[in-house]
Structure formats: structure tokens, C-alpha cells
Structure 1
Amino acid sequence: MRRLFFFLPALGLALLSGLVHAAVGFAEIPGTAGDGPVTVFYPSSGEARPMRRGPFTLDVAAEGMPVRGNGRLIVISHGSGGAPWVHADLARSFVDAGFIVAMPEHKADNYKDTSNPGPGSWAMRPAEVSRAIDAVARDARLAPLLELDKVGMYGMSAGGHTALSLAGGRWSPAAFARHCEANLEGDFQSCVGLITRLTGSWFDGPRKWGALFVIRRRFADDTPQAHDDPRIAAVVAGVPASADFDMASLAAPRVPLGLITAHEDRWLIPRYHSDRVLAACLPRCELIADLPTGGHGALLSPLPPGLTGLIGDMLNDPPGFDRAALMPEVNRKTTAFFSTHLLR
């Protein structure tokens, strides 16, 4: 028996050593039910090489042979108009810890197609996450390496809305409209996106009138929206869109819920969004990281280069935000949260 106790730590170290030296594999697998592709990052025995995707260079083993990690999957839900590449650093942190990572392409609200952002997309996204799990479960290379009874789910911005839905939150399009009617000027970008902005000129009156006209006509449905996937066992919401949630539904999340907040977020103003979630769910949720100088784009890593205009104002790092010093630790804490709740 004594020899066994010496042997087990040695075996664990040997397995960990093999995983540490694994490359980050990369593949795109078909979605289901007409969904777009699911991008997958995973531990691989292949050789990592630079790969270009848009303005990003990823050091990955493209189509490399998967190797066994810790047996768990994490799904990442991108933000509005988002792409997999802006979460590559977090995905690498997950893979280094042994996780396989799947990123669905949310219909009509991704970098290829931005025709239906906001509540229209929010209503579809949770089911798209479930179907991404199904897609991984059908993949002949990945499925044998996984147990899908305990899946993690991470979402940022609009993906954070998805995360809160999968943690048990309920919302409705009409609740979004009511929020915008009451707080249009204070939370303007949340209500209208990046179509326009308030400038302090006389044009602001017509802008606000036009925004409310469209919002009232499009978002009148008061039916509560909810989606439950029993496979999802831990959730992290980063700078989530959340003003339209019934906060009572988040007072006792159905699974462990972690939050990441950024005080300088000018797209989803914290007092209307993440602060309200924390006030509702603490102490039954966990504040994983709080970024006093972080903006809305803090969790995009790598951050898209050369952003200008309104999107640059919303996503570029505010003065004083030390991305290089702060974000590796945020990724480490996020990875540790999932390790704690999925590997026990």
C-alpha cells in the first residue's frame, strides 16, 4: 500500500508532464441542424505552426491528432459580431489544463454575418451551445476523449447573456424594451449597438426617438425565455449583457456561476448589467475577477488590432489598463474555476 501512495503521485506527474508538452490542436467541425462550423481547440500530439485567421496569427497544430486531456469540454460563446480568434488566449489556457474547447458560430451575429444581433440572437444562442456539444459528441476523434455529463460554459458580452441563460436566468424581449425605455440615454450603446451614438448635439433627440420607435416595435414579446441543458455543470459570464433578466431567476443559479467585471465598460455599463447580476446572486455566485481599469474589450484576447471609430471607443483598452500584466491572471483564475467545478 505504501508503494501505491508513492506510485500515484508519480503517475500523475508523468501524465501532467505529457500534457504540458502537448500542442494546442485546432479544427473546425460541422455544426448541426444547419448551424455554422464549431471551432475546436484541444490537446494535440501534432506540431504547432503559425496559422493566419484574419488579422490574427495562431500558433496551433491545425488538424493535429487529439490526445487525452482531463476528459472535460468547455464551450465558449462569443460576443456580438464575434469570432473564435478573439478568445484564443483563454482557449489556450483551458487546453493547457487539459480541457477541450468548442466555439459555436452564432447565427446572424458573428463576424461573417451581423444581421440579427440583440434579443433576436439571444433567443437562439443557448440552443446553439447545446447543439455545439452535440456536434463534439458526434466527432469520431474528440468524442472518445470526453465525458459530456459535466460541461463548462463561458460567454462574454452577448455570450455572457447566453451564459446567464444557461445558469438558469430568465429574460424576455419586452424586458429589454422596458429597460431601454427607462435608461436609453444612460445605456444607449447596449440598446442600439454600434449603429450610432449620442454626441450632445440636437441630433440626439431624433436618434433617441428613432431608437425607441424601433425597439418598441421589435421587442414586444413578454414571454420568458429560458433554456436548460443538464450537461452544463459550471458557467462563467464575462461583462455580460444582462439588463433584461429577471434578477430573481439569478438569485440561486442552477450551477456554479462565476462573473468577470470591468468597471470602465462603456458598452454594457456595469450599473445596468454586471453590478445588478452580482447584487442578485452573491453569495451564491463567485466574482472571479474584477478589472477596475478594464473596458468592454478587456476579455478579448488577443484584442483585434487597429480598431477605430465607435467600435474602437467601445473595445480598445482604456488608459491605465495593463493587459499584459492582468489578463494572464484572469485566464488562470477562470481556468481554475472550471477545474474546481468540473474535475471534482
Structure 2
Amino acid sequence: MPSFCLPFMPLLLPVCIASAIVAPLPASAFEAGTRWLSLQPPHRAERETVLLTYPAKSDGDAYTLGADALWQGVPARRNATPVAEKFPLVILSHGSGGNAAALGWLSTELARHGFVVAAPNHLHSTSGDSIPVESFKIWERPQDISSLIDRLTSDPQWSGLVDQDRIGAIGFSLGGTSVMLSAGARASLDAFDEYCAGSDGKDAGCNWFLRGGVDFSKVDREAFEGSYADPRLKAVVAVDPGLAMAYQPESLKTMAIPVKLINLGDGDAIMPGVRAETLAKAIAAAQYAAVPGAVHFTFLGVCNPDGAAVLKRYGEEDPVCTDGGDIPRGELHKQIFFQIAVFLRKALAER
């Protein structure tokens, strides 16, 4: 029986859990309905699209969310009728070059378990529209999150579905940076510059920004290091968070809401720029978990059998479809979902 070990905060004691029992959550009670919204954040010159996934009835059009030449996608129901209750709201922030639908494996499962999930496609940081000098404007993403909360808590169509006292956020990679900033952390431009300078060209994140034309000396320091805390957030999950080594220490001490930090892989298998165990120790209300057998790209959807060939045709060099061991990505998703869902259930649903 395969198993995995998770350090359990705050004591950071290793706890081994057999993969066969990673399902103590109640059975899903709802269908996953989906709708696309259009949002005009006041700080943006263009509109953003948002994937809303919610607890739904068994109507609407059954389809496969996110399916294309690369991704298998997941079952969902387009335009299904929302269940007439109030549920916790979770904002889901994708990584640089990612998109909302590619994280449908997580948003649909959360919706089936009683969460409303709103996933924005952050402008100029999504698949096919990923621009390094724009993505490095990290201060725009937490503002996207706050604008989306504004919309969903005031929109007559959706405000009745959202419990305004139970709002959280999940972020992956650069999305992890986004939710950390929304939770009260403040970035340090000097710390990130120093980290990249000392990485000897071996950090993929630093390389991507530098090769994309980002000049750290010309970045708007005041905006980069500003405060974007949204007091409406009651809990956040950051998975392989970007800038893990580059937050202002004093800002971490002020973070008072529950924080779950998850690394994909363990030990040296974790990408250096996103290692979060030390970060977790600096936040009083933080928990930390690692998922052995996973890699950074495990958080994306399940690839089609010929996914590697598709990536090669498009000149993509990153091993997007490859995980870290013998455990299939779908099984690793179950482990990651368990970590996230148990945390959010305690921090939001059981409030």
C-alpha cells in the first residue's frame, strides 16, 4: 500500500498517512455548476474573465471543463441551477502562465463539497497571454482578488449564494504570492533581487522574469512592497508559493488568519524558490504540509496520454505532464485536495 508523509504544524512532526485512507471527508453532496463572468477591476484597463464554480442541482448541460488537446478536463454542469443556500467563498488564483479552467480538478471538487469557487484569469499572466514584465506587477493580482470579492458580495445574482463572513483564498505558484499578499504579507524587492542574483541562473522563476525583460531596478518599489491585505479573508492556502524567500519578516508576524502552506514534493525535490517550511515557521497561524511524489506541475490538470507529444509540438520545454514518481497525478490530486479541504472546512465551513 503506497503511503505519503506530511509534516504536521505547528510542531512539524512527520505524520505518515496511507493513501488508501485519504478520504475521511463527507461524501460530496452537490453537483459542480459552472458559469463564466466578466469583471472590470478598477485598477485594470481591460476586463477579466472569471470561472465561477458552485454547488449546483443536477440540471444544466453536462460537459468536460478544461478539456482540450493537452488536458483531459473534469466533469461539470454548465449553467446548472445553484443550490439555494449560503456557502463559503474561495478565490482560486492560478500561477503565471496558467488559467482558471486548468485548475478545474480542484474547483469542481470543492464545489461538490459545499464551496463557491471564483477563479480569475489574471490579465497578461494566463495561458497564451503570459508577459513577464506584466506578471511581475504582483500588486495587481491581490487587487484582482479584492475586486472579485466586491463583485460577488454585491451582485444580486450571486450575493445570496455567498456567506460574506466565510471567505478564503487558494493560490498556486505566483497565485500563492497573490493570496499571501491578500492575507497581509508584504513582498521585499531587495530580497527577491538578492535571491535571484545568488541563484546562479538555476532558478526557473528568476530566469523567466529576467529573460522576459524585467529590470528589478526599474520596478515600482512602492507598489511591489505595498500592503494589499483584505480583512474579509478568513483563511488562505498557498501551494508552492512564489517569492517564498522574499517577504518582509515583520509583515509575516502580523498575519493572524489561518494559513496553510503546501509544497509539492519533499526535500531537494521541492523547487528552491517556493520552499515554504521556513516561511510557515515565521507565521504564527500557519500549518505546513509536503506531498512526496508530486512536483510543481502536479497542481495542474491531468494530461491526455499524448500530452508530452502535444507539448513538444508547441515547443514547450517544461515537463508539464510529468510527476515525481509512480503515483498517478489523479491520486496525487486526491492527497492535495484532502489537505486543502480539511483545512478550509475547519477554517471556514465550521465557523
Question: Which TM class, normalised by the smaller chain length?
Answer: 0.7 to 0.9
Match of 1:13 in 2: none
- The equivalent residue for 2:291 is 291
1:40 and 2:55 equivalent? Answer: no
Q: Does 1:316 align with 2:322?
A: yes
Matching of residue 68 in structure 1 with residue 68 in structure 2: no
Pairwise CA distance, 1:135? 2.2
Contact 1:70–1:98 (8 Å) recurs in 2: no
Letter in 1 for 2:36: E
Structure 1 Cα separation of the partners of residues 138 and 277 of structure 2: 20
- Counterpart for residue 49 of structure 1: 62
Q: TM-score under structure 1 normalisation?
A: 0.79
What is the CA–CA distance in structure 1 between the aligned matches of 2:296 and 2:145, rounded to whole Å?
23
Deviations 1:100-124 (A, max 9, x none): 1001111110114112467633121
> Which SS does the other structure have where 2:142 is aligned?
helix
CA pair 160-214 structure 1, distance change in 2 beyond 3 A: closer
1:89-146: per-residue Cα shift (whole Å, max 9, x none)? Answer: 2112211221110011111101141124676331210000111112223433321122
Deviation at 1:37, TM superposition (A): 1.4
DSSP 3-state at the match of 2:32: strand
What residue is the counterpart of 1:3 in the other structure? none
Over 3 Å counting, the alpha-carbon distance change for 1:67 and 1:311 in structure 2 is: farther
Preserved contact between residue 233 and residue 256 of structure 1 (Cα < 8 Å)? yes
Matched position secondary structure for 1:43: strand
Of residues 173-182 and 22-31 in structure 1, the stretch that sits farther from structure 2 once superposed is 173-182
CA contact (8 A) 2:291 2:336 kept: no
Quote the residue 1:30 is aligned against.
38
The 1:220–1:183 alpha-carbon spacing in structure 2 relative to 1, beyond 3 Å, is farther
| Amino acid in structure 2 at the alignment position of 1:192 | N
1:302 and 2:317 matched: no
Contact 1:175 1:245 in 2 (8 A): yes
User: Counterparts of 2:86 and 2:302 in 1: how far apart (Å)?
Assistant: 25
Which residue is 1:225 aligned to? 226
User: Which structure has the greater CA radius of gyration?
Assistant: 1
Aligned residue number for residue 142 of structure 1 = 158
Which residue matches 1:11?
none
Counterpart selection for 2:334 from 320, 328, 332: 328
The 5-angstrom pairing of residues 1-344 of structure 1 reads 20=29, 22-33=30-41, 34-45=46-57, 46-47=59-60, 49-51=62-64, 53=66, 55=68, 56=71, 57-116=73-132, 120-187=136-203, 189-193=204-208, 215-219=215-219, 221=221, 224-242=225-243, 243-263=245-265, 269-270=271-272, 273-281=275-283, 284-287=285-288, 289-303=289-303, 305-306=307-308, 307-308=311-312, 311-313=317-319, 316-343=322-349, 344=351
| Identity rate, percent | 23
Report the 3-state secondary structure (helix = DSSP H, G, I; strand = E; otherwise coil) of the residue aligned with 2:298: helix
Distance, in Å, in 1 between the alignment partners of 2:184 and 2:65 is 37
Q: 2:270–2:295: 8 Å Cα contact kept in structure 1?
A: no
Gaps of 5+ in 1: 1-15, 196-209
**Cα pair distance change 1:212/1:303, threshold 3 Å:** closer
SS of 2:130's equivalent in the other structure is: coil
Looking at structure 2, the residues matched to 314 and 145 of structure 1 have their Cα atoms a distance apart, in angstroms, of 35
Answer whether contact 1:261 1:290 (CA < 8 A) is retained.
yes
Higher share of residues assigned strand: 2
1:337–1:48: structure 2 CA closer, same or farther, 3 Å change rule?
farther
Residue 86 of structure 1: CA displacement? 1.9
Amino acid aligned to 1:26 = T
Letter in 1 for 2:167: V
From the superposition, tell whether residues 123 and 167 of structure 1 become closer, same or farther in structure 2 (CA, over 3 Å). Answer: same
Going from structure 1 to structure 2, the CA distance change for 1:103 and 1:220 (only over 3 Å counts) comes to: closer
Q: Shift of residue 78 of structure 1?
A: 0.4
What SS does the aligned partner of 1:68 have?
A: coil
Greater Cα shift, 270-279 or 131-140? 270-279
Distance 2:105 2:66 in 1: 14
Shift of 1:264: 6.0
Map of 2:11 onto structure 1: none
SS at match of 1:136: helix
Q: Matches of 1:339 and 1:60 in 2, distance apart?
A: 22
The one-letter amino acid of 2:228's match is H
Q: CA deviation at 1:70?
A: 4.8
The answer for unaligned runs of 5 or more in structure 2 is: 1-25
Give the Å deviation of 1:228.
1.3
User: Which structure has the highest helix share of the two?
Assistant: 1
**TM-score w.r.t. structure 2 length?**
0.77
Equivalence for 1:9: none
Report the aligned-residue RMSD: 3.0
- Residue 72 of structure 1 aligns to a residue in which SS? strand
Does 84-93 or 323-332 show the bigger shift?
323-332
Kindly tell me the number of residue pairs found equivalent between the two proteins. Answer: 309
